[in-house]
């Protein structure tokens, strides 16, 4: 409701109320005035009658009294009736005899006295009719005056309210609306007579307007800044991609050539120098990858795969990879994979490997002597498993004050000036971020001089997917009894857990002497052991010596033995034969390999030979031989890289053609008719993507079989793979080219589609 309507309605109610009150007040005053006048007149009349009829009353001359009464009533129409009573109170005369009961009257009484003596009473009934109608008139009048006056006041009031309040208010309101909409309002001015309150309200609106304008300007500036920052971030990513390409291309040459040179006859110094070149190149490449990863995370461009992978296998791979290097430092790396913990999970295997490799790598790097224990545990929660992979070392340890900072980028415990260890300080920063992005976390506890434990907590979904890579040995080991001899407790625990998991019983001995005691006791009161697993490096009596003593003891000389060692040379056939070991395994032994070795040692009947045997790695020469007959077209503009590929494949009996740009590739595609094309992404004139598209369209037009095209690229940015596949390529090799990868990839595609080389 509008304010004016509200005011008008209120005033109407007020007018009605005031009218009523005024009417009633007038009625009260008029009524009391009427009663006063009537009383005076009645007194006068009675006094007159008293004088006139005194004698008649004393003598009770009724006819005389009555005639006087009649005369009085006739003369005065306001008199409704008169009656006279004697000194005993009895009415002696009255006129008229009957009084109309509808007439409202007022009664007045006076004693008739003479010289103090009482002779009776005269009472007069005075009609109120005339007086009351006069009163009603007055009341009505009062009401009308009140209402009219208030109506007039209302109009005046409304006028003032409009002029002094509503109008200035509507202007302030319009200004406020304009301000909020960001429109100009300079023509909206308050009238000059506007009150102080409105002037200050208007001033406040002006201030508000200024604040809003400022804020809008700030927001616009911010938006512009964000746009610029986005553009900058994009060009940073592009710059990184380009830089990575630019650095990887020459690195490809450096590492590739160094690798090739190592295959030639070199003297000791030359080999050392070349080795250094190759190692420094690889280290530099790791740094580039780290920086690239880091900037990808920073730019929010990191994406994760969610594919089935074997965690057990991945951990075994990593541990095997670092174990060799660690053993040079006298550090033993062991892996415990909790029995019963699922093996295949859904996740980004590559990224998880990257994180675990980094942390295990650090553990080995910062441990001079001792052990690194990798322990994978898990708690099942529905179809997921809450995994905890902890990596404990007995190394340097990390000071309390550094425990937080090491997770920040470029932070290392030993300052840059007195660095003993290589590294960028990016590893942990990347790892924590990767794990955090996968929904997990990394924690660390450490004591200087005693070692550190890094724990990766990550929840992954289990998968029923049967991975081809996870070979299971079908040997039945239930019921066999094994003696495990190892000086390190964790290794004894891991081995016996594994054995029990396969249904075998395991007894452990922490030294060779204890093992001999156990063996002798077993011979004396059974049960004898089916197998002994012996660690090579033990204090006092080592694995070899223990084996020798066992073999000398006629009672137990025949028990099959497996030797576990971290020293490469122990695996030689000579040592194996000499000490009568049925297998010598490199530590840490993968569970498949160990199970297979046990099965072989025990000559188990139900052993599936093909599956149980460790797949024999084909050597490079065999693989190269299998490539013979291949027509390979290499699209690459860089002369060094051309040379790298050429030299890597030197020993293979293949036909090789080079093409320096996309046009030449398309031309040679029809003349040379390759089985496989290696396609560099960036080439002058026509790049790899375009050339691929062109080849695919030629194939489609002529209904030709698809020629495998393997992308060869230095761009390590995510999305390159998709880009290549979209353009019609079949596979992807990133630079610098690794010989083994190149050969296996070529072989894969040659086998898959090689037969379809067209000969039109
Ligand atoms: P870097 O490439 O230098 O190893 P990281 O981010 O991986 O970078 O590690 C940061 C620092 O944390 C290391 O330089 C080292 O000082 C400390 N650090 C990491 N792991 C360990 C460990 N297991 N024992 C002792 N110090 C460690």
Please choose, from the candidates 518, 531, 511, the residue with its C-alpha nearest in 3D space to the C-alpha of residue 582. Answer: 531
Contact by Cβ (8 Å): 712, 678: yes
Q: What is the pLDDT of residue 569?
A: 61
Q: Whose CA is nearest to atom 18 of ligand 1?
A: 362
Q: Determine if ligand 1 sits within 6 Å of the CB of residue 331.
A: no
Model confidence band, residue 609 (pLDDT cutoffs 50, 70, 90): very low
Model confidence band, residue 760 (pLDDT cutoffs 50, 70, 90): very low
Please identify which residue in the block is written with the tokens 């034969």: 577
Give the model confidence (pLDDT) of 187-233 as tens digits.
778 888 888 998 999 899 889 989 998 999 999 999 999 999 988 87
DSSP symbol at 417: G
Mutate to test the pocket of ligand 1, among 362, 402, 424, 425 (most ligand atoms within 8 A of CB): 362
Q: Whose CA is nearest to atom 13 of ligand 1?
A: 412
Give the model confidence (pLDDT) of 66-97 as tens digits.
888 898 888 888 888 889 998 888 888 988 88
Model confidence band, residue 613 (pLDDT cutoffs 50, 70, 90): very low
Q: Whose CA is nearest to atom 20 of ligand 1?
A: 362
Model confidence band, residue 452 (pLDDT cutoffs 50, 70, 90): very high
Helix (H, G, I), strand (E, B) or coil at 543: helix
CA 735–ligand 1 middle distance (angstroms): 28
What is 183-248 written as a DSSP string?
---TT----TT--HHHHHHHHHHHHHHHHHHHHHHHHHHHHHHHHHHHHHHHHHHHHHHHHHHHHH
Please choose, from the candidates 591, 613, 598, the residue with its C-alpha nearest in 3D space to the C-alpha of residue 335. Answer: 591
Q: What region, left, alpha or beta, does residue 207 occupy, with left being phi > 0 and alpha being psi -120 to 50 degrees?
A: alpha
pLDDT of 615 higher than 70: no
Instruction: For residues 397 and 283, give the distance between their C-alpha atoms in angstroms, rounded to a whole number.
Output: 24
Q: What is the pLDDT of residue 180?
A: 85
Q: What is the pLDDT of residue 451?
A: 93
Q: What is the pLDDT of residue 336?
A: 92
Q: What is the pLDDT of residue 533?
A: 94
Q: Determine if ligand 1 sits within 6 Å of the CB of residue 362.
A: yes
Helix (H, G, I), strand (E, B) or coil at 478: coil
Q: What is the pLDDT of residue 607?
A: 35
pLDDT of 455 higher than 90: yes
pLDDT of 610 higher than 50: no
Instruction: For residues 305 and 347, give the distance between their C-alpha atoms in angstroms, rounded to a whole number.
Output: 6
Overall average pLDDT of the 110-115 stretch: 84
Q: What is the pLDDT of residue 414?
A: 67
CA 385–ligand 1 middle distance (angstroms): 28
Helix (H, G, I), strand (E, B) or coil at 309: strand
Q: Determine if ligand 1 sits within 6 Å of the CB of residue 370.
A: no
Please choose, from the candidates 330, 423, 410, the residue with its C-alpha nearest in 3D space to the C-alpha of residue 368. Answer: 330
Please choose, from the candidates 390, 549, 507, the residue with its C-alpha nearest in 3D space to the C-alpha of residue 457. Answer: 390
Contact by Cβ (8 Å): 142, 26: yes
Tokens, residue 603: 């000559």
CA 586–ligand 1 middle distance (angstroms): 27
Give the model confidence (pLDDT) of 484-507 as tens digits.
999 988 889 989 988 998 889 999
Average predicted confidence (pLDDT) for the chain: 84
Q: Whose CA is nearest to atom 11 of ligand 1?
A: 412
413 versus 675: the higher-pLDDT residue is 675
Give the model confidence (pLDDT) of 333-382 as tens digits.
999 999 889 989 999 888 898 899 999 999 999 998 889 999 999 999 99
Give the model confidence (pLDDT) of 704-757 as tens digits.
888 899 988 766 565 677 788 888 888 888 777 778 888 888 888 887 765 544
DSSP symbol at 619: P
302 versus 390: the higher-pLDDT residue is 390
Overall average pLDDT of the 88-113 stretch: 86
Closest ligand 1 atom to residue 429 Cα is 6
Q: How far is CA 718 from CA 15, 242, 292, 303, in A?
A: 84, 13, 10, 8
Report the share of the chain in percent with pLDDT over 70: 91
612 versus 461: the higher-pLDDT residue is 461
What distance, in Å, lies between the first and last C-alpha atoms of the chain? 92
Tokens, residue 392: 């404990």
pLDDT of 43 higher than 90: no
Q: Determine if ligand 1 sits within 6 Å of the CB of residue 398.
A: yes
Q: What is the pLDDT of residue 434?
A: 93
CA 292–ligand 1 middle distance (angstroms): 19
Q: What is the pLDDT of residue 355?
A: 94
């Amino acid at each position: 409701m509008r304010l004016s309507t509200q005011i008008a309605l209120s005033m109407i109610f007020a007018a009605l109320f005031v009218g009523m009150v005024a009417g009633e007040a007038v009625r009260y005053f008029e009524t009391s005035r009427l009663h006063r006048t009537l009383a005076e007149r009645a007194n006068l009349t009675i006094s007159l009658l008293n004088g006139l009829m005194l004698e008649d009353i004393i003598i009770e001359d009724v006819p005389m009294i009555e005639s006087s009464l009649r005369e009085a009533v006739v003369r005065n129409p306001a008199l409704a009736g008169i009656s006279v009573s004697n000194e005993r109170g009895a009415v002696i005369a009255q006129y008229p005899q009957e009084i109309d009961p509808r007439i409202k009257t007022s009664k007045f009484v006076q004693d008739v006295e003479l010289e103090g003596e009482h002779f009776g009473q005269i009472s007069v009934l005075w009609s109120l009719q005339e007086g009351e109608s006069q009163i009603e008139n007055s009341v009505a009048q009062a009401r009308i005056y009140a209402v009219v006056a208030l109506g007039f006041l209302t109009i005046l009031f409304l006028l003032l309210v409009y002029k002094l309040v509503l109008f200035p208010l509507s202007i302030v309101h319009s200004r406020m609306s304009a301000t909020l909409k960001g429109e100009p309002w300079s023509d909206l001015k308050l009238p000059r007579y506007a009150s102080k309150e409105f002037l200050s309200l208007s001033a406040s609106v002006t201030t508000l307007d200024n604040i809003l304008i400022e804020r809008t300007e700030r927001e616009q500036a911010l938006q512009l800044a964000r746009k610029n920052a986005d553009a900058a971030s994009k060009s940073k990513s592009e710059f990184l991609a380009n830089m990575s390409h630019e650095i990887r291309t020459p690195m490809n040459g450096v590492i590739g050539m160094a690798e090739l040179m190592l295959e030639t006859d070199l003297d000791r110094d030359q080999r050392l120098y070349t080795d250094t070149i190759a190692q420094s190149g690889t280290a530099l490449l790791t740094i580039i990858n780290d920086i690239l990863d880091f900037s990808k995370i920073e730019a929010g461009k990191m994406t994760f795969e969610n594919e089935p992978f074997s965690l057990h296998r991945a951990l075994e791979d990593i541990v095997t990879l670092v174990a060799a290097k660690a053993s040079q430092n006298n550090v033993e790396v062991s892996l415990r994979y909790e029995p019963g913990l699922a093996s295949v999970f859904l996740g980004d295997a590559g990224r998880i490997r990257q994180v675990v490799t980094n942390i295990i790598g650090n553990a080995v790097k910062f441990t001079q002597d001792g052990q690194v224990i990798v322990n994978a545990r898990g708690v099942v929660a529905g179809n997921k498993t809450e995994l905890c992979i902890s990596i404990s070392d007995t190394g340097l340890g990390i000071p309390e004050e550094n425990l937080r900072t090491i997770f920040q980028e470029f932070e290392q415990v030993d300052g840059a000036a007195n660095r003993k260890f290589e590294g960028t300080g990016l590893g942990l920063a990347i790892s924590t971020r990767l794990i955090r992005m996968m929904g997990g976390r990394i924690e660390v506890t450490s004591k200087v001089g005693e070692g550190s434990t890094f724990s990766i907590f990550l929840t992954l979904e289990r998968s029923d997917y049967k991975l081809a890579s996870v070979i299971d040995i079908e040997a039945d080991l239930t019921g066999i009894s094994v003696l495990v001899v190892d000086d390190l407790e964790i290794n004894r625990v891991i081995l016996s857990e594994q054995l029990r998991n396969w249904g075998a019983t395991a007894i452990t001995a922490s030294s060779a002497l204890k093992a001999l005691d156990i063996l002798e006791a077993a011979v004396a009161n059974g049960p004898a052991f089916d197998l002994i697993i012996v660690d090579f490096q033990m204090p006092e009596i080592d694995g070899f010596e223990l084996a020798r003593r066992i073999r000398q003891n006629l009672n137990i000389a025949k028990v099959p033995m497996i030797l576990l060692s971290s020293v490469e040379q122990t695996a030689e056939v000579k040592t194996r034969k000499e000490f009568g070991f049925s297998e010598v395994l490199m530590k840490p032994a993968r569970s498949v390999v160990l199970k297979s070795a046990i099965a072989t040692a025990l000559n188990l009947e139900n052993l599936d030979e093909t599956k149980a045997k460790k797949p024999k790695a084909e050597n490079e020469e065999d693989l190269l031989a299998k490539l013979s007959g291949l027509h390979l077209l290499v699209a690459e503009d860089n002369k060094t890289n051309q040379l790298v590929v050429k030299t890597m494949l030197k020993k293979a009996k293949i036909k090789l053609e080079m093409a320096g740009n996309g046009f030449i590739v398309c031309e040679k595609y029809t003349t040379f008719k390759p089985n496989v094309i290696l396609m560099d992404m960036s080439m002058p004139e026509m790049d790899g993507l375009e050339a691929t598209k062109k080849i695919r369209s030629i194939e489609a037009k002529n209904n030709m079989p698809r020629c495998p095209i393997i992308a060869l690229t230095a761009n390590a940015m995510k999305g390159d793979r998709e880009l290549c596949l979209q353009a019609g390529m079949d596979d992807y090799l990133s630079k610098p080219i690794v010989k083994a990868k190149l050969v296996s990839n070529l072989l894969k595609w040659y086998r898959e589609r090689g037969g379809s080389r067209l000969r039109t």
